[in-house]
Amino acid sequence: MRQAARARIAFGGLLFEGNTLSPVRNGIATFRNNPFAAGSEIITRFAGTTTEPAGAISALEVAGAEAIPLLYTHGGAGGRVTEAAWKELSGEMLARLKAALPVDGVYLALHGAMLVEPHDDFNGDDPEGALLDQVRAIVGDAPIAVSLDMHAHVTMRMLAAADIIVGYQLYPHDDAHESGQRATGLMLRALAGKIRPRMGFCKLPMILQAQKQRTRGPTPMRELYWLARALESTGAVLSASYFPVQPWMDVEDLGVAGLAITDNDQAGADAAAVQLAEAFWARREAFEVATTSVAEAIRAGLARSDGFVVLADVGDCVGGGARGDSAVVLRALLAEAPGATAAVPVVDPEAAGIAHAAGEGAEITVALGNRSVPEYGAPVEVRATVRRLMDGDFTYAGGLMGGARASMGKSAWLSVGTIDVVVASNPTYEYGDEQFRAAGFDPRTRRFVVVKNPMNFQQAFAEASAMFILDAPGPTTSALAGIAIPRARGNRPFWPFQRDFTPEFAARPAARRG
């Protein structure tokens, strides 16, 4: 038998979604409380999950390549990552890569919208681009493949450093595993000399609300999904990606983007990227959604006789960078719907600590929520019964962290009259109903279910009799035309702040040429 040298492929991931409307800094604990592993632990803990590294592991196994695990963590979302946490995480990733040399290729799962505290001569705005530059300096000409979240802020620096960039195809992000597979698979083909990847890229001065970015409903995003798959079905485009971008980021050159990869056909890649960008622009009004005032939504919910009603507190979305600590909807429920049942999540480590000190069955008086960012609301004082105390650990049932464990930290299920409040110490990404399940009840049995995400609830609570997108305050508001992102807007017309203009649909100059 021929004994061919196995390709040595280093892989890992460092994901976090930043939000400049949140002043909260996120340290190393933010990552440790979320999916996190280093070295061979990545394989033992994440193989077989629905995460990106699992996709890479399976692609490398099929190809008979040697998998060299570096570091993988998804810290969720928040304000900026602290300088210390960034240096620790990126430092470990790069140190492990150097120690693994020589490597034939690298695959990294990144979010693409991470933000770091400004430090040294680094303004903190494009840490992924800086990381990829360093990876390039270490591995020389070895192919570098990257998968990004669909809400990545894709930068020219990333495009210059990487050979292959693919985005999630689905929202909710149910294809993280497949994204890891696709990126790794393309990299292996490039390494084998079967393709010469060329990336085309087109970005527009616009941001979009999240609700109609669902890829499985009758939405404008579904049409982008179809377009991308049609482009790929010809075989001329190896990968077509769309990036509707994290909107709450005041960084330069923010915008919605299309990105296509071809085999050695720059003009073809450029044309496909422009086509994707044009498709976003043509549907810009179809992406818009109306919000409902909290009081109005509660009244409309009370008027219904069937099922349960979802109140989407989209301004306090942990997955978009908020703390999940708003008690604004809880306060409104207490005022507007006395006697109605409800399930409400609130992140509040102090209140969780008070509940744990009091013990199960105790009656406590506690101020709940809105401790971290006062301008988004004040704590609400309640009398509560401690129903259950938890360590807050749970496993995601699906999505980009499916099969991975995360921790709400010290947590409690409190009864505030007829309202069930799940109080957590740590904010955690909402995929489905994992946090409620961890507390021990099914929120669908209550009249109102409060969620703190802009879109995943449409899938997780599809059987709700009504859903309302609330006009509530927070760093992830859906009222985008009112947010302050002056650096992102720059000196140019920018959708939806300006509505009467036509952007230039031009591909950006091609970056790396292998």
Q: What tokens does 172 get?
A: 């909710």
Q: How far is the CB of 319 from Zn ion (least distance, A)?
A: 7
Residue 226: alpha-carbon gap to chain centroid: 22
The interface region with Zn ion, picked from 141-149, 291-299, 422-430, 482-490 by CB under 5 A, is 141-149
Is residue 331 classed as helix, strand or coil in its secondary structure? helix
Nearer to Zn ion, 65 or 257 (CB): 257
414 CB contacts (<8 Å, ≥6 apart)? 351, 355, 364, 366, 382, 384, 385, 386, 387, 420, 421, 422, 423
Q: How far is the CB of 151 from Zn ion (least distance, A)?
A: 4
Binders in 226-255 for Zn ion, by CB under 5 A:
none
Binders in 55-74 for Zn ion, by CB under 5 A:
none
Nearer to Zn ion, 149 or 174 (CB): 149
Q: What tokens does 426 get?
A: 């740590």
- Rounded Cα–Cα distance for residues 324 and 453 (Å): 9
Q: Under a CB-based contact definition with an 8 Å cutoff, are residues 100 and 129 in contact?
A: no
Q: How far is the CB of 234 from Zn ion (least distance, A)?
A: 27
Output the residue with the shortest Cβ distance to Zn ion.
Answer: 151
Cα separation values, 125 from 20, 115, 165, 254, 320, Å: 10, 5, 19, 11, 16
CA-based radius of gyration for the chain: 23
- Rounded Cα–Cα distance for residues 238 and 232 (Å): 6
Give the number of residues in contact with Zn ion, rule: CB under 5 A: 3
Nearer to Zn ion, 10 or 150 (CB): 150
Q: What tokens does 333 get?
A: 């429920």
> Checking DSSP bridges between strand 419-424 and strand 411-416, what pairing results, if any?
antiparallel
Nearer to Zn ion, 124 or 319 (CB): 319
Nearer to Zn ion, 221 or 366 (CB): 221
- Rounded Cα–Cα distance for residues 137 and 140 (Å): 6
Nearer to Zn ion, 149 or 175 (CB): 149
Q: How far is the CB of 169 from Zn ion (least distance, A)?
A: 12
- Rounded Cα–Cα distance for residues 327 and 348 (Å): 10
Burial degree of 270 (CB within 10 A; 0-12, 13-18, 19+): buried
Q: How far is the CB of 33 from Zn ion (least distance, A)?
A: 19
Nearer to Zn ion, 221 or 419 (CB): 221
Does residue 508 belong to the site contacting Zn ion (CB under 5 A)? no
**φ, ψ at 226 (rounded to 5°):** -65, -45
Nearer to Zn ion, 15 or 337 (CB): 15
Q: How far is the CB of 244 from Zn ion (least distance, A)?
A: 9
- Rounded Cα–Cα distance for residues 359 and 353 (Å): 10
Angle 425-116-92 (CA atoms, 0-180°, nearest 5)? 85
Nearer to Zn ion, 150 or 257 (CB): 150
Q: How far is the CB of 25 from Zn ion (least distance, A)?
A: 21
Binders in 142-161 for Zn ion, by CB under 5 A:
149-151
Q: How far is the CB of 375 from Zn ion (least distance, A)?
A: 25
Q: How far is the CB of 448 from Zn ion (least distance, A)?
A: 26
Nearer to Zn ion, 136 or 151 (CB): 151
Q: How far is the CB of 149 from Zn ion (least distance, A)?
A: 4
Instruction: Give me the residues that bind Zn ion (CB under 5 A), please.
Output: 149-151
